[in-house]
Amino acid sequence: MSNNQTILAEADYVIIGSGSAGAALAYRLSESGEHSVIVLEYGGTDIGPFIQMPGALSYPMNMSRYDWGFKSEPEPHLNNRRLACPRGKVIGGSSSINGMVYVRGHAKDFDNWEEAGATGWSYADVLPYYKRLEHWHDGGHGGDPEWRGKDGPLHVGRGSRTNPLFKAFVDAGIEAGFEATDDYNGEKQEGFGPMEQTVWEGRRWSTANAYLRPAMKRDNFELIQCFANRVRIENGRAVGVEVTKGGADGFVKANREVIVSASTINSPKILMLSGIGPAEHLREHGIEVIADRPGVGGNLQDHLELYIQQACIQPITLYKHWNLFGKGYAGAEWTIAKTGLGASNQFESAGFVRSRAGVEYPDIQYHFLPMAVRYDGKAAAEGHGYQAHVGPMRSPSRGRISLNSADPSQAPKIFFNYMSTEEDWVDFRHCVRLTREIFGQKAFDEYRGKEIQPGENVQSDEEIDEFIRDEAESAYHPCGTCRMGAVDDPHAVVDPECRVIGVEALRVVDSSIFPRITNGNLNGPSIMTGEKAADHILGRTLPRDEAEPWINPRWKESDR
């Protein structure tokens, strides 16, 4: 590490990454005006219809301009497929390219974090931060107002659910004997009900819109577009970040702390390039070991999902808009008025259910879409259809991020090790059969055509397993690679204040610190992590909120 690089800038706090956690953190640290904050972001502007129009969500995550373009290593249990792992390379990070689904996670997820050594991260501790970050709009559709925040930076709302299929899905879940829920982000996650989205006035409400733009108006805040190579550590203390900007190397000095908020993929990579990680692995790449933390890059988790698709005998699905004219019309309506199909992510109904008796809280999530389509934007050739994305929430499989090279410009090696336990297969087979049961309810009678995918010839465990190997896709929820835990836990990377164990003035704040993956989409928990970490850094805390979440009284006897 050469220490004579030009100092490009300096601030009290230097944050690597402007994504879900980094943006919230930067906003809160700069809020009082007392501290100077610099955010380093490699990606460019988020201005333009592909990002700002919610209905266009399949585009940005497939565009190299906005996405890092990561792929997993060949996954041995999924026919050696290399799965896409999109991460936002743009202002707002992955919140600018995600599906805009807002889920806090189940209360028990956070109690589990605390039991795993993340003291002070139980649900009672994090609920006040969820309330602080939210500006919740129920749209007159019920919900749990006293569990929700009303004046935070992040607008959270619900789609209009005008398509009758959204109601059919919720009704079918109830006909199958499951619970209904008015607000899965309130007291009761379990059940079928409306899905929430980070959309405001027809626009994607990313952390760039919610947090960064207001922060940029402050004199004590600066955003620098550059590539972060590594954290410079002198005498056991982080002093700044070595960057490349406009082809030249430079240094951004941190007078108080460096905070890595670069994603579950890039945060462990940056730590390892900085000399923090499994000692042997670092030495293999000729990197001087500053802190031997074997947990860096380990504990990698994600949600996998399948798309179960059914043909629709009524021409009411989004397929009728899936042509040049339809897309053009939706785009024009959105451009002029921020209304119409383009103003929603189209995920407007959800379900959270338990897989079997003895499971205390939901471990399966449903997203319902009134169209048969894939994330890469390829529609089902058959035409009209609808689909449920379904997958288990708490896979026991664990993977790892490791370095391909000591060259910061090289992507790391991403190995999820998906479906590596028998439990994964049992859970996924159940997901397929359960979805068929729900699609077979009376509520769908007037819409149901033939099953498109997997297709009715796929029935046995072996046939379903083959379908899983061919078709399971990531839900794009990677987390866990810089796990938070007790200081004496050899596999923990950060302590419960998000401080990297063994190095001074360095923290990691993003989904990489999650000890275990939460129920549902990870954008909400990532933003909450940024909010809460800011208070740890500033030496303050919100009082706990002891609201009791609903747990199914029949959980020991039944799955519903």
157 is in an annotated binding site: no
Q: For the chain, which domains are there?
A: 1-158+206-293+480-550 (3.50.50.60), 160-194+304-392+420-471 (3.30.410.40)
Cβ(88)–Cβ(67) below 8 Å? yes
pLDDT tens for 293-340 read: 999 999 999 999 999 999 999 999 998 888 878 888 888 898 889 999
Q: Check the annotation: does 21 bind a ligand.
A: yes
What does the block give as tokens for 29?
Answer: 């640290």
* Residue 24 marked as a ligand binder: yes
User: Is residue 375 annotated as involved in ligand binding?
Assistant: no
- For the four alpha carbons of 537, 542, 544 and 545, in that order, the dihedral sign comes to negative
**Do the annotations mark residue 497 as ligand-binding?**
no
Q: Is 548 annotated as a binding residue?
A: no
Is 38 marked as a binding-site residue?
A: yes
**Residue 530 pLDDT:** 98
Closest CA relative to residue 279, chosen from 490, 512, 497:
490
Helices (H) and strands (E) in the chain, counts: 13, 25
- In the set 137, 477, 491, 536, the catalytic residue is 477
Give residue 379's pLDDT. Answer: 66
The closest of 350, 435, 440, 382 to 166, measured between CA atoms, is 350
CA dihedral 27, 29, 30, 31 (to 10 degrees): 70
Write the pLDDT tens digit of every residue in 106-152. 999 999 999 999 999 999 999 999 999 999 998 666 788 999 999 99
Compute the CA torsion angle 12, 15, 20, 21 (nearest 10 deg): -60
Q: Known binder of ligand: residue 33?
A: yes
- Decide: helix, strand or coil at residue 330: helix
Q: Do the beta carbons of residue 88 and residue 19 sit within 8 Å? A: yes
Q: Is 452 annotated as a binding residue?
A: no
The residues of the chain scoring below 70 in pLDDT are: 1-2, 139-141, 375-381
Q: Count other C-beta atoms under 10 Å from residue 68's C-beta.
A: 20
Write down the pLDDT at residue 235. 97
What Cα–Cα distance (Å) separates residue 36 from each residue in 26, 359, 503?
A: 10, 47, 22
Known binder of ligand: residue 122? Answer: no
User: Which among 11, 24, 43 has a CA at the least distance from the CA of 240?
Assistant: 11
Residue 59 in tokens: 């585009």
Does 22 count as an annotated binding residue? yes
| The predicted structure's pLDDT at residue 1 | 46
Q: Residue 499 and residue 261: Cα distance in Å, rounded?
A: 12
pTM of the model as a whole: 0.97
Q: Is the C-alpha dihedral spanning 112, 305, 436, 183 positive or negative?
A: positive
CB count in 10 Å sphere of residue 69: 15
298 known member of a binding site: no
3-state secondary structure (DSSP) of residue 233? strand
Estimate the crossing angle of helix 422-439 against helix 164-175, to 10 degrees.
Answer: 110
477 is catalytic: yes
Token pair of 117 as six digits:
């050594």
